[in-house]
Amino acid sequence: MKRAFKYRFYPTDTQAAELSRTFGCVRKVYNLALAARTEAWARQERVNYNQTSAMLTAWKKTDELAYLSDVSSVPLQQALRHLQVAFTHFFAKRAKHPRFKSRKKSRNSAEYTASAFRFRDGRLTLAKMRDPLDIVWSRPVPEGTQPSTVTVSQDSAGRWFVSLLCEDASVGPLPATERAVGVDLGLDHLLTLSTGEKIANPRHERRDRARLAKAQRHLARKASGDGANRAKARRKVARIHARITDRRRDHLHKLTTRLVRENQTIVIEDLTVRNLLRNHNLARAISDAAWHKLRSMLEYKARWYGREVITVDRWFPSSKLCSACGSLQGKMPLHVRTWTCDCGTTHDRDVNAARNLLAVGLTASVCGAGVRPQRSTPGGQSTMKQKPLLREP
């Protein structure tokens, strides 16, 4: 299993200048190749990677683009390969048409293959550089492995990172267990488990909201343009955003790793976060909770460790269905946090939802796709709508 190990590093002035030139050249080559392919497509012609690679050789020989020869050629070739992958996804209707890279908005990154770097004794040296990078090794690289690719990037806060793609033999199926858990996502509590445990929502963005608002007001008072003062204020805002993002990601990693290690099967609800964000009263809190990121972490970690993630259809009435007798209640607004069923059972809304998700997930995984519960039509007749309760992750 290949994994990326990401570390922060602190370049010298010379290294920072070289990497900044490389980022600019990568962006330029990507945009030139995208423009060439787009123009060819308008003429009902197709241009592939090999043709853009030949174009790159010709561009380097011109006076206008001769500076492309000053940086390593490998990141430039990798940019063309990334463009080829983007068009492959576009033609397969898995993604939108590739867009041009912006100097201010696009991510600064450059990818080096094995021929463009040297990794020996924990020291990484890139092509066109004499000295190795000053990397903070926050965790060890798998012993005895050699990186296949190295990606250098700089975020909007000005921090430098290097990512090493290595083969990790430690990733493999965990010992099987019979434990299964249903997970209900929320805002008051980030997760509610079918065991009754509730995991608090840290609300990372709310904790730094005052600092962020102050920094944004300071940035808004700066004159527009590329001035040094505006750039300094922009970096201060970016650092606060980076702090929020890092803390949120760290918390989600710890939480998802715990769930995957403790349970063989995890049942979650298939929420459409994009649609939920249209509620302007809750959009900020939903974005801060990062439900989509949490689900993606659960899914790829489950694949790593031989676990199973089951997703239940978003229309399944998990909150309104009594987990004791199975009766379906009427309307239940969000402010109703506890309710009592006709059978006399008092439910916590979130715990009841998690238990229902677990029950239907385990049932459908054994018996196949299920259907929605019976609902009464205005004429009094019941209908059984054939809609799958499960979806593949």
For the annotated catalytic residues, the residue numbers are 184, 269, 350
Going along 47-122, which residue ranges are E strands? 108-113, 117-120
- 234 contacts 219 by C-beta, under 8 angstroms: yes
Q: 342-351: long-range contacts (C-beta < 8 A, 24 or more apart)?
A: 347/322, 347/323, 348/196, 349/319, 350/184, 350/186, 350/189, 350/192, 350/198, 350/319, 351/184, 351/192, 351/194, 351/196, 351/198
Angle at 245 between CA 165 and CA 170, to 5 degrees: 30
How far apart CA 333 and CA 305 sit, in angstroms, is 38
Kindly give the pairing relationship between strand 180-185 and strand 265-269.
parallel
Kindly state the tokens that stand for 60. Answer: 């380097």
Kindly state the tokens that stand for 382. Answer: 């019941």
Kindly state the tokens that stand for 370. Answer: 């299920």
